[in-house]
Amino acid sequence: MQKALILNAIVLVVVLEADLGRHRKVTWFRVLRPFLTSAAAVALFMQSVTTTGTGLTIELALAAAGILLGLLATAMMTVYRSPTTGKPVSRAGLGYATVWILIIGARSAFSYGSVHWFGPNLHHWMAQHAVTNNAITDALLFMAIAMILTRSIALAARSGRVGPGEIGDEGASSLGAVRQPVSR
């Protein structure tokens, strides 16, 4: 449980520090940092990947959920061209932070609850379905990694699609849209 809480805290800090605010430069380091964080997390926390049965299904399901949740979070970020530099930048605010906080909070609550609230019921279910503790831990890790990697890939793709005339409008509140060209 402690490992999962540490991982959740690391993911939340790395992502929010990188993305919250206006005119956040989209650099290679910003895009690659979550990949580096993910590699470190795998090295530190990965147990043995379950390759059969319900454990594999849970790992795949949570990885898929991580991809979908990463897309949801990224949809809350606006990518546009900076009016001052002309380079891709992003803006993420309260909605973006809320998505990350709720998802990571839910994962943390599950980890805590599996020990303190519903441990016996969970262990009974795991025994009935031949699911190991490692499968649950790895599934939560896959979800976290899939979410942050999806965020990085989507950010890179969206910043690459921002055309030279697509300048950000500071007052706009579009969710996730690439800015439209400004008429001159």
Q: Report, as an integer, the average pLDDT of 166-181.
A: 48
Judged against a pLDDT cut of 70, whether residue 172 lies above it is answered with no
Q: Which of 159, 1, 184, 134 lies closest to 81 in space, CA to CA?
A: 159
Q: What is the pLDDT at residue 182?
A: 43
DSSP 8-state assignment for residue 164: T
If we measure between CA atoms, which residue out of 69, 93, 89 comes closest to residue 148? 69
Is residue 169 very low, low, confident or very high in pLDDT (cuts 50, 70, 90)? low
Supply φ then ψ for residue 22, to 5 degrees. -100, 155
Find which of 72-76, 158-162, 174-178 is predicted with most confidence, using mean pLDDT: 72-76
Task: Please tell me the predicted confidence (pLDDT) of residue 157.
Answer: 95
Give SS3 for 21: strand
* Neighbouring residues of 31: CB distance < 8 A, sequence distance ≥ 6: 152, 155, 156
The residues near 22 (Cβ < 8 Å, ≥ 6 apart) are 89, 91, 170
Measured distance between the N- and C-terminal CA atoms of the chain, rounded to whole angstroms = 56
Q: Domain residue spans in the chain?
A: 2-161
Rounded to two decimals, what is the model's pTM? 0.83
**High-pLDDT (> 90) share of the chain, %:** 57
Average pLDDT over residues 104-115: 92
Please give the pLDDT value at position 179. Answer: 45
Residue 44's pLDDT is 77
Spell out a b/e string for 60-99, using b for 16 or more CB atoms within 10 Å of the CB, else e.
eebbebbbebbebbbebbbbbbbeeeeebbbbbeeebbeb
Distance CA 55, CA 58 (A): 5
pLDDT at position 166 is 61
Q: Which of these ranges, 36-40, 61-65, 105-109, 158-162, has the smallest mean pLDDT?
A: 36-40
Write out pLDDT tens, residues 118-166: 999 999 999 999 999 889 988 988 998 899 899 999 999 999 998 766 6
